[in-house]
């Protein structure tokens, strides 16, 4: 699961309560987000990939369903 939070007085504070037992081992990935006012603005996947969406040409009609098979074939597997 992914939770959002912020740093307050050097400690990470989650924005929503999470019920974890004391001593629970967790993994943390730091992602600095730009703040606009009080709301962090995170671009959507479509916004991040906008420059490449719709650029592929000449692919088979069933590419989205069978891309793994086409990639194996292209690599001689």
pLDDT tens per residue, range 29-70: 888 776 655 555 677 888 889 999 989 898 899 998 999 999
Q: pTM for this structure?
A: 0.37
Give dist(CA 15, CA 5) in Å, integer. 5
Question: Hey, where are the domains in the chain?
Answer: 5-74
**Phi and psi angles of residue 45, each rounded to the nearest 5 degrees, phi first:** -60, -40
Average the pLDDT over 14-41 and give the result: 80
Q: How many CA atoms lie within 13 Å of 20's alpha carbon, on the beta-carbon side? A: 12
**pLDDT confidence of residue 52:** 92
Q: What is the pLDDT of residue 2?
A: 82
């Amino acid at each position: 699961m992914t939770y959002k939070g912020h740093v307050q007085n050097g400690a990470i504070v989650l924005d929503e309560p999470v019920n974890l037992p004391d001593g629970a081992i967790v993994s943390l990935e730091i992602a600095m987000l730009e703040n606009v006012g009080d709301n962090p603005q995170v671009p959507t996947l479509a916004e991040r990939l906008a420059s490449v969406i719709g650029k592929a040409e000449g692919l088979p009609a069933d590419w989205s369903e069978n891309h793994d098979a086409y990639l194996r074939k292209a690599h001689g597997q």
